[in-house]
């Protein structure tokens, strides 16, 4: 999963990447640190036996208000959603960037 994140992160390096994981948008690494500071949310970490990386996230249902705050702070946001149905996917669910949102983007 983190390989998908890193590949998208590299492709959209000028954006803060929100990466769908279940019912949450997660951020990792430096994005997580910036995201946490900007929104005043808890910075945690994701770990395995091989690595530890900072992680911060928000519920998808609350994303609009958080994205609006990020835009007001001058951030650009890339939203990566799951494009496969998890119930039909035998392995890792594929994700793609579905939205690029900048401070000039009109939001509700």
CA dihedral defined by 39, 68, 74, 16, rounded to 10 degrees?
70
Other beta carbons within 10 Å of 71: 17
Other beta carbons within 10 Å of 98: 12
Is pLDDT larger for residue 1 or for residue 74? Answer: 74
Is pLDDT larger for residue 104 or for residue 26? Answer: 26
Instruction: Give the domains, in start order, of the chain with CATH numbers.
Output: 2-101 (3.40.1170.10)
The pLDDT value given to residue 108: 58
Look up residue 84 and give its two tokens: 């496969």
Residue 12 has pLDDT above 70, yes or no: yes
16-74, pLDDT tens digit by residue? 999 999 899 999 999 999 999 999 999 998 877 777 889 999 999 999 999 999 999 99
3-state helix, strand, coil in the chain (%, to 5): 35, 35, 30
């Amino acid at each position: 999963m983190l390989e998908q994140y890193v590949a998208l992160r590299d492709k959209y390096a000028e954006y803060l990447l929100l990466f769908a994981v279940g019912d949450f948008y997660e951020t990792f690494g430096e994005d997580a640190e910036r995201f946490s500071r900007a929104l005043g949310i808890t910075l945690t970490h994701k770990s395995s036996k091989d690595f530890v990386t900072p992680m911060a996230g928000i519920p998808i249902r609350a994303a609009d208000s958080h994205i609006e705050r990020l835009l007001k702070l001058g951030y650009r946001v890339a939203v990566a959603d799951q494009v496969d149905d998890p119930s039909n996917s035998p392995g890792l669910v594929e994700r793609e960037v579905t939205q690029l949102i900048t401070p000039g983007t009109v939001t509700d």
